[in-house]
Amino acid sequence: MLFSKSVFSTVVTWSTEGMKILNFYSSTAMNSTTAFLIPSSLPVLKEKGLTKCFLLYRGSQDGFTAQSFHAKCDSHTPTLTIIKTSGHDPQIFGGYTTQTWNPVNGNYKRDSESFIFKYHDSKCMFEILPNSDSSTGEAIYAMPNNLTCFGGGCDFSIADKCNENKKSYCNLGYSYTIPQSLSNFQHEDAEVRSYLAGSKNFKVSEIEVYKVN
C-alpha cells in the first residue's frame, strides 16, 4: 500500500508507532514505503519498544568520509545504519549495534544484540540476519579509516569515500547468519558475497546512521 506524503503524515502522527515512522520518513536512502515498514520489521524497534530514532549522519549531507562519520557517530549508541548502493539496481541493507563506533586504535567489539538486515523490494520486507552465537566477539570492527564494519570478515565494510570507489565490500557469513535461501553455499561463494549489495564490491549512493532509544 502506498501513501501520499500528506495522507501518510496524517495517518502516523497520532501514535507512538507513527513517531518512529516519521523519524525515518525524511530518509534519502529509503522511500516512504520502506520507511513505513521499519518499525514493525526490525526487532530492536518492535520488541524493545524503542520509540525515538534521531539522524546522526547522512553521507550526502555530511560527506562520505570516515572522518565525518566518526565525528558524528562515535559518541552515540545504540545505532542503526542504513546503506543504499549505487547502480541501476540499488540495494538497501544495514546493521544495528549497541556498541560505539569509537575506533580506539581499531578493535573488534562484542555485541550479542547486533544484527544486519537486507530489504527485499520485490517482497516489501526486511530480512534479519542475526549475529552467530559463536561469533558475538566480532560483532563490529571500529576502524578510524573506515565507516561502519560489521562482523569478522567483515560481513560488510563501508570504506572511506564510499561514493567514489568500490572499496566497500561484503563477506557475509563470517559473524552473521547466512540466509536460509543460501544454506547450501559457504561464505566464500559469490552468491553469498553478493547477497547484501548485489556484488562483493560496490559503491554507496547513500548511508545514514540513526541513534535509537
Residue 212 CA to residue 99 CA, distance in Å, equals: 12
- pLDDT over 70 at 34, yes or no: no
Average pLDDT of the chain is 81
Q: Could you tell me the pLDDT band of residue 188, with boundaries at 50, 70 and 90? A: confident
Do residues 78 and 87 lie in contact, with contact meaning Cβ atoms separated by under 8 Å?
Answer: no
One-letter identity of residue 204: V
pLDDT at 207: 94
pLDDT at 121: 78
- pLDDT over 90 at 33, yes or no: no
Do residues 106 and 142 lie in contact, with contact meaning Cβ atoms separated by under 8 Å?
Answer: yes
- pLDDT over 80 at 181, yes or no: yes
pLDDT at 2: 36
- pLDDT over 60 at 36, yes or no: no
- pLDDT over 50 at 18, yes or no: no
pLDDT at 133: 66
- pLDDT over 60 at 156, yes or no: yes
pLDDT at 30: 64
- pLDDT over 50 at 47, yes or no: yes
CA angle 28, 57, 136 (to 5 degrees): 105
pLDDT at 15: 34
Residue 209 CA to residue 74 CA, distance in Å, equals: 11
pLDDT at 186: 83
Question: 173-211 as b/e, with b when 16 or more CB fall inside 10 Å?
Answer: bbbbbbbeeeeebebeeeebbbbbbbbbebbbbbbbbbb
Give the length of the chain: 213
Highest-confidence range of 44-53, 81-90, 163-172, by mean pLDDT? 163-172
pLDDT at 101: 96
The rounded percent of the chain whose pLDDT value lies above 90 is 54
- Mean pLDDT is lowest, of 89-103, 105-119, 169-183, for 105-119
Side-by-side strand order, sheet with 146-150:
107-109, 140-142, 146-150, 156-159, 168-170, 201-202
Q: Could you tell me the pLDDT band of residue 79, with boundaries at 50, 70 and 90? A: very high
- pLDDT over 60 at 7, yes or no: no
